[in-house]
Structure 1
Amino acid sequence: MTGGPAIPEGFRPFDIGGDFIRGNGPLYLQHQGDTVKLGFRVEQRHCNPMGNCHGGMMASFCDMLLPVSVHRKSAEVGQRFLPTISLQIDYLAPAPLGVWVEGEGELLRATRSLVFAQGLVRADGVPCARVSGVFKIGPAYESEAAG
């Protein structure tokens, strides 16, 4: 969004997720101590015909939010690919064009083969989505891929 609202302080561009997220982002990361937040500004291309963030964009964001949070909060799975097994999203409120969307995720449990996580997403501070997911602990990958 050229010339649009600024990205909140502490967030930096976050290039992860391959061409799909690169084409649908950009996403931004804030990682300070134990706090990990992922965010994006809702642009016109993210919107449905009602001028709100499309549910598919929100689902893609949530599908990135949980693994990114887990990677930064767990040394055991920090460098492992975490393909999604299931993702449950409750859409709580719209995220209109121009708002800043940010989410925080938390690791609930990691077993030998699975990760269970949940998160909350806010649009300009208003809760707009609640997400939970189960992820397979996949193979290790290069540290630069983990962001």
Structure 2
Amino acid sequence: MKKHHTLPAKKQVGSMSDISIPEGFRKYHSPKRFPEKIGPLYFKKEDEDLYRFGFFADETHCNANGIIHGGMMMSFMDETLGQMVWRATGRKPCATISLNFDFVSSAKPGEWLEMKGHITRQGVSVVFIRGELYAGDRIVLTADGIWKVLGR
């Protein structure tokens, strides 16, 4: 059984009173950058090359139908898959060339969403990556992307 710790929720209208972040995850800091606008986002270092990323979905991430906005999930995947590519290239600047998504199911406020990704092919100037976004054991979204290593 995974241990969770509780953190105070964001102080925004419509946020949960308590949120449960899985043990070992730390807040992903990107001061004055886009990830701060969609977060908070979290990460956990598994080993030297493996990171896990997640976020607690709350009402601020919802669309008009009361489910987590597709744009939120796509932005999260672009950011976190890009982080994986950046680390895999030795922290060289990279940019998304192509990123394709398939929505498999919906996510709801109150769920912990976690990305699992892996590099499928890495060349000198281009990296191919695949990721899945989960709510528990349920796949919510899959993504296939290509990143360009800049300056090559």
- What TM-score does the superposition give when structure 2 sets the normalisation length? 0.82
Equivalent residue in structure 1 for 2:83, among 64, 68, 72: 68
Question: Which of structures 1 and 2 has the bigger CA Rg?
Answer: 2
Q: What's the C-alpha RMSD, in Å, of the aligned pairs?
A: 1.9
Contact 2:94 2:150 in 1 (8 A): yes
- Going from structure 1 to structure 2, the CA distance change for 1:58 and 1:111 (only over 3 Å counts) comes to same
Q: Specify the SS of the correspondent of 1:83.
A: strand
C-alpha separation in 1, matches of 2:66 and 2:137: 18
Compare the two structures and name the one with the higher strand fraction.
Answer: 2
Deviations 1:59-101 (A, max 9, x none): 10110121222334x2xx1311221111011111101011000
Q: Specify the SS of the correspondent of 2:20.
A: coil
Q: Specify the SS of the correspondent of 1:6.
A: strand
Aligned to 1:37: 52
Unaligned runs of 5+ in 2: 1-8, 11-16
Q: Specify the SS of the correspondent of 2:124.
A: coil
The 5 A counterparts of 1:65-144 are: 65-72=80-87, 74=88, 77-139=89-151
Aligned to 1:24: 38
Report whether the alignment pairs 1:4 with 2:36: no
- What TM-score does the superposition give when structure 1 sets the normalisation length? 0.85
Compare the two structures and name the one with the higher helix fraction.
Answer: 1
